[in-house]
Amino acid sequence: MDYSKNLITDKTLELLLSLADEVKLKQAIDQQFSGDKINRTEDRAVLHTALRDFDGMKTEVQSVLQKIKAFSETIIGGSHKGYTGKSITDVVNIGIGGSHLGPEMVVDALKFYGNHLKLHFIANVDGDDVAETLKDLNPETTVFIVVSKSFKTQETLANATVVKNWFLKRATKSDVQKHFVAISVNIKAAEEFGIAGDNIFPMEEWVGGRFSLWGSVGLSICCAIGYAHFEELLKGAFEMDKHFKNTEFSENIPVVMALISIWYNNFFNVETEGIAPYSQYLNFLVPYLQQAVMESNGKSVDRNGEKIQYQTGTIVWGNVGTNSQHAYFQLLHQGTKLIPTDFIGFAESLHSNRENHNMLMANFFAQTEALWEGTNHQAPDNAFKVFDGYKPTNTLLIKKLTPHTLGSLISIYEHKLFVQGIIWNIFSYDQWGVELGKSVAEETLKAIEENDPNIMENPSTQNLLREFIKMKTL
């Protein structure tokens, strides 16, 4: 990690490190790793790191990993047969939020390491999207993984029901057990849906959805890349966990990244952070990190229940390079907003296209150089070609995209947001804002189904529902 192109001095870093000590960051890190219930509003531990702790793995975690390994190997090897005796060719993950974003991101990022299975993801409750996914699938050769911690998530259950009804047009209820598996803590609800007990993979209460890809939620990942690669993903994250837990803060990658982010957010009033991965394989990294960061640290009440008078969670956005350079980079270079940006690049390509990769990485290095240096030293006569420079960036340079290095990369950002939450004095691991939207949606659904806008109290919503009801009945 290179953070030399930032608006900081040695004194800045010294003061930020003092801030980390003042809020007792080391103690907070130890509390998380030891299993203290740091998610106080839900009275839960935050132990996703335990899912990849190869020095002292919990028995229940080992058991789940073995079950994941056994099931994925039967799917990949072809011994798991569908209801007509054919081997499985397609796997569909049905989930939303953390039950979707993590698995989809990793599967796409590591498709170079994939096998013959085709992976599909259904998340949006948009029925058109579900139909588009199903239209090219054969029910005889497809396995569906329904991922819902509570097995009550509205969008996931709605989509799973549509899929099951589609499946039953060709098969029988007894065939469901060969084609549907569940990942949930609610075993009873999964069984009532028709899924056999042996095909239900447990989740732990102490693992939040947006940090759950490392456990049973990663079943689709394991099917896509095989257990050996899945384990390497976990080991890469574990390696970064040890670095985060044991390294002095001045040399600690997640800590330094978090402190720099705090510096811009709270002292420069910067509201957003860019992320530019220079690999098409990381196309889904930004959406994944948007949930991880903004769902975690989008809080305006501190741990004492008091309204916060300072800025907390940053807005995360971006896209892959070099596509980004031909889109929003103009604003980074010459816009009026200061947007610190993380650049993520790899020294080696996976398909050994050296010429293209050299060009890609030349742009990777050139952009951070141009953002920082600008044209101040050149003093062009044309004002429209002046670049002020001093636009901050962090550079994460990784040897090669592998399951191991991807695991480490994801772990960096997990720990970064944790550090930010400690310094901002907020609880990072609940998401009550998400729950509010769910409860309101139940009321609006009732208004739609009963054609009664007056169920809602807000006049604007009432008028919108009236127009919607008129439109859909035409």
pLDDT digit string (tens) for 119-144? 999 999 999 999 999 999 999 999 99
pLDDT at residue 374 greater than cutoff 80:
yes
Mean pLDDT of 257-272: 98
Query: What pLDDT does residue 434 have?
Result: 78
> Does the N-terminal peptide bond of residue 74 adopt cis geometry, omega within 30 degrees of 0?
no
The fourth-level CATH superfamily of domain 48-230 is: Glucose-6-phosphate isomerase like protein; domain 1 (3.40.50.10490)
Query: What pLDDT does residue 290 have?
Result: 98
Residue with tokens 């608006």: 7
Query: What pLDDT does residue 45 have?
Result: 95
Q: At what angle do helices 403-424 and 227-246 cross, to 10 degrees?
A: 40
pLDDT class for 391, splitting at 50, 70, 90? very high
Each residue's pLDDT tens digit, 309-328 = 999 999 999 999 999 999 99
Residue 85, by phi and psi: left (phi above 0), alpha (psi -120 to 50) or beta?
left
Q: What percent of the chain has a predicted confidence (pLDDT) above 70?
A: 99
Q: Which amino acid belongs to residue 107?
A: V
Query: What pLDDT does residue 181 have?
Result: 98
Each residue's pLDDT tens digit, 422-445 = 999 999 999 888 777 778 888 999
pLDDT at residue 378 greater than cutoff 90:
no
pLDDT at residue 379 greater than cutoff 70:
no
Provide the CATH number for the domain formed by 10-34+247-424 in this structure.
Answer: 3.40.50.10490
Query: What pLDDT does residue 104 have?
Result: 98
- Work out the number of other CB atoms within 10 angstroms of the CB of residue 197: 10
Query: What pLDDT does residue 436 have?
Result: 79
Q: At what angle do helices 127-134 and 154-168 cross, to 10 degrees?
A: 40
Distance CA 11, CA 103 (A): 41
Each residue's pLDDT tens digit, 39-86 = 999 999 999 999 999 999 999 999 999 999 999 999 999 999 999 999
pLDDT at residue 382 greater than cutoff 90:
no
Query: What pLDDT does residue 415 have?
Result: 98
Residue with tokens 């009236």: 466
Mean pLDDT of 216-241: 98
Mean pLDDT of 28-35: 97
**Catalytic positions:** 295, 326, 438
Query: What pLDDT does residue 88 have?
Result: 98
User: How far, CA to CA in Å, does 82 sit from each of 14, 15, 90, 139, 144?
Assistant: 61, 61, 11, 8, 12
pLDDT class for 474, splitting at 50, 70, 90? low
Domain-by-domain residue ranges, the chain?
10-34+247-424, 48-230, 432-473
The contacts of residue 132 (CB under 8 Å, 6+ apart) are none
Global confidence as pTM: 0.96
Q: Do domains 10-34+247-424 and 48-230 have the same CATH topology?
A: yes
Distance CA 33, CA 48 (A): 9
